[in-house]
Structure formats: C-alpha cells, structure tokens
Amino acid sequence: MGLYKNFVSQTRKPEGFLGTLMLSGMNSGHAKLADWGITHLPDIHPLEAVDLGCGGGRNAGELLKKYPKAHVTAIDYSNLSVEKARDYNKAMITAGRCTVQQGDVSDLKLPADTFDLATAFETIYFWPGLEKCFEQVAKVLKPGGYFMICNESDGTDAASLKYEKIIEGMKNHTVEEIETALSGAGFSEVKTAHHPSKPWIVVLARKTTRNL
C-alpha cells in the first residue's frame, strides 16, 4: 500500500520519479473527460484564457486548438508539471500563444480583470478552500468572463471517495458545495452538467458584470 499511496498522491503535486510517471499518464488518462468538458463551453471567442492546475499541459493545448486567436496561460503548483506542460506546448510557446508558469491558485500572481476564460480540469480536489480560491479566479477574470470546472467525481461516487482516505488533502466536492462556493466568490449564471453514465461533472459559471 505504501508505494501505491505514494504514487496516487502524486496527483496532488507531482514530484520526482513517481511524479514523472503520473504526469506521463495524465494527458492521455484525462483526455476523454477533458474533451467532454470542453464541449460544454459556450460559444465564445476568448483572447486570453488561463488553465489552472494544468498538469501535463494537454488541456491547455486543446484550448489553443479550439480558440486559434487566443493566448493561453497555463498554471500549476508543481514545478515538474510546469516543465512537462512547457515541453508539451513548446511550439505554441515559441509562437507566442502560450505561457506556462508555476503558481498557487490560492494566491494567483496574475493581472486582475484580464482573462475571458478560466478552466480547471481535475484539480479543485486539492484547492485549499474553494471560496477563497474561486475569489482568486474571479479576480483575474474580466467582468462577464467564464469559469469552467471539470471533475471526474461528483463528490458522491464510492470509487472516487475512497481516494480521500489515501491522498492527503484531497476532497471530492459535491455539486452543491461547488455552486455555493462559486456564488460566494462572485460568480453568477452557475450551470452544471452530469455525464449520462459516469459521475463526471462540468460546472460553468460567469463572473458578475460588476468588478469585485
């Protein structure tokens, strides 16, 4: 159990050899979930987007494909993830369309009122206080900007809940918990979609049009 626990705990902050192994599987392992989530984005044309908790960088790459006029900033707490995401998006970084940097979602060092879209794929499980972190997301979004959360767990499925006992600091939030935190952080028009046969969820919210 010790090695297994150490390995799955790399989902929180990949480091070292086990973190490298985890990141190698993240891009492919989460692809179907992320692609399903992206289909729920509204018909928008963002010029600035930010992917929070970018992991191996694959989803930032998909946003770059979906929005060919956008610049995408990818943020992750793990320096190893930043390295992997930079390698994955090397061509777009060279072209000036992508920036990958280390950052903490509880204290984002990004300019306020800048981004049209923020995304968070399979990452809010580890955010230290949802409403506090969501306030940080709201701060960097333009008024009217969108925030999309995509999770493999809806906070109630047994398969995912067992990992809370294994991975320190992990919390599978319910839809109600996410919606409440979003509203408290200054988001409106909160909508949720469930996958028809899996516990996958997408929560889409919009920053209120007034400045926070």
d(CA 159, CA 156): 9
* pLDDT (mean) for 146-173: 86
Boundaries of every domain in the chain: 2-207
Least confident of 16-20, 46-50, 85-89, 144-148: 16-20
Rounded to whole angstroms, the Cα distance separating 176 from 154 reads 10
pLDDT at 180 over 70: yes
Residue 209 — very low, low, confident or very high, per pLDDT cuts 50/70/90?
confident
Superfamily of domain 2-207: Vaccinia Virus protein VP39 (3.40.50.150)
pLDDT of residue 48: 98
Mean of the per-residue pLDDT values for the chain?
Answer: 88
Q: Are strands 98-102 and 71-76 parallel, antiparallel or unpaired?
A: parallel
Tell me the C-alpha distance between 138 and 1, whole Å. Answer: 39
pLDDT-based confidence at 169, cuts 50/70/90?
confident
11 phi and psi angles, rounded to 5 deg? -65, -25
pLDDT confidence tier of residue 158, bands split at 50, 70 and 90: confident
Tens digits of residue pLDDT in 22-63: 555 666 667 999 999 999 999 999 999 999 999 999 999 999
CB of 46 within 8 A of CB of 117?
yes
- The DSSP H or E segment spanning 192 is strand 187-194
Q: Determine how many CB atoms are found less than 10 A away from the CB of residue 197.
A: 6
